[in-house]
Amino acid sequence: MWVHLFSDGAVERATGKASAGGAIRDMEGNWIVGFNHFLGNCTPFEAELWGILNGILVMLKKGYKRATIQTDNLEVIKALIEKEMEDSGITILRRVQRTMCSE
């Protein structure tokens, strides 16, 4: 069964404190579960990736293996799609990519 994973990350400019969260909905748009996570200090790029990773992990825990992932950050989407980024030094990016491929 396919689900929709909606995720977002946010960073407060003044302090650099970040959080990520989102929602998982079924194919008809019905609510399944929401999630959020305080991240401490990180970049907006990392916060977006954390939102996706947390959403994937919640989704897997609930027994769902297939999802469309929606985020508002084009840079993150490109990084997840581009093969040359697989060996990137960005640990969270590699972790998201590995989790997506392994499951």
pTM: 0.89
> Where do the domains of the chain lie, and which CATH numbers do they carry?
2-101 (3.30.420.10)
End-to-end CA distance of the chain: 14
Using alpha carbons, select from 93, 66, 91 the residue that is nearest to residue 78: 93
Residue-level pLDDT, tens digit, the chain, 103 residues = 899 999 999 999 999 999 999 999 999 999 999 999 999 999 999 999 999 999 999 999 999 999 999 999 999 998 888 766 556 667 888 888 888 877 6
